[in-house]
Every structure is written in structure tokens, then in C-alpha cells.
Structure 1
């Protein structure tokens, strides 16, 4: 994939999605630039609590760490919500905001998700 052109990747995507009948139109109206994300898998690497900074380190009064490399218990990295939750923790704490941070969605504990997964397994 690292040597594929944007056109080759777009053509493959159009075929994967089943839109072959509009391939020429898509190719004529779309620009694709390829990029590499060599460290994207770092988000999912094993880690221990000491190897990443807390959103608000002990004693921090005027700074915080934000982003995918700060630990948020029970949350899932690589989502927009993860970044938003981290920022909310930082801002709400540093500025004494008295609002609740939205709870983390636990899809694995949602019976509706389990039923959809079970139904999908037997399609």
C-alpha cells in the first residue's frame, strides 16, 4: 500500500463499496493524497500507568496534557470522544467548572448492542 497511488487506492475503495458503475465519475471528481501513519498503532500498545502523563499531573495548577496519550480510565483511545473527555477533565478542573462530564458509553454492557451482535453473527 505504501507504493500505491491515490487513484489506485480510490479505485480499490470504490470496488470494495460496490460502486463500480460510477467509478469513472468518482475518479474524475476526486483528488486523493496518500499518507502514512507509522505511529498510529502506538495508541494501542501495552502500557503501564507510569509511561504516560496524567491529564492533570499532581500539583499542576496552570497546565494540562491533552490528547490520545493521556490515560482516561475506562475510555477507548482513537476516538474524538476520548480527546474531548480529556480536555473537559482539564478545563473543568483548572477553571473550577461545576458541570458534570458526560459519562463514558460502555457499549459492551448495553444489552441492545449484544442483541445486534448476536443477530449479526447468524446472518
Structure 2
């Protein structure tokens, strides 16, 4: 009995020491649903439209999507050669973006801006 007691205490002490002293601090997670509920909506849709227009123009999207609704067109490659590239329609883009390109990689805004 005297030999078991120190061993049990050692196991308990090690378990507490290893989990408390060496464990990485846990980050607090924020659930997205309650977070989005705390955001204030714009007073009107006009502010959202203006933000979207500014992003569209600042990111250079108009080069491939003139007027925001192009479904195809002729683009130029880096050498300046005319190359037909299908340009997707932007209506409902949130439902189908990012999409796979013709070569099979997931195209994002950064990649599309480099084309």
C-alpha cells in the first residue's frame, strides 16, 4: 500500500502538470451567426451598391467585365495577342465563385488579375 500511494500521487501530479503547464492556450472561438447579428445593416442598399462599384473599379474587374455583365469576350494575353477567353457573367457570382478555370485550378481574384 505504501508503494502504491506515492506512485498514484506521482501519476496525478504528472497528469496535472503536463496538461496545465505545457498545454497551449486555447483561442476563444466566435460563432459566425451571432457575430453577423451584431453587425449593423446599412441604412439603404445604395451604400452597399456604392461599395460594390468601388471594389469593381478599384480591382480592375471592368477590364474583363465591362458594365459588369459580360458573358464572354476576347481578351489579350501578356504578349498582347488576342485570345478568346470565356468571361463568366457576374450576376449571381456569389453562388458560383470561385470556380475552376479551363485548366482545372481554382481561379480567385488575384489569379484573374494576373491574367
TM-score (norm 1): 0.20
Q: Which has the higher contact order (CA 8 A, sep 6+)?
A: 1
Greater strand fraction, Structure 1 or Structure 2: 2
- Which structure has the larger Rg over C-alpha atoms? 2
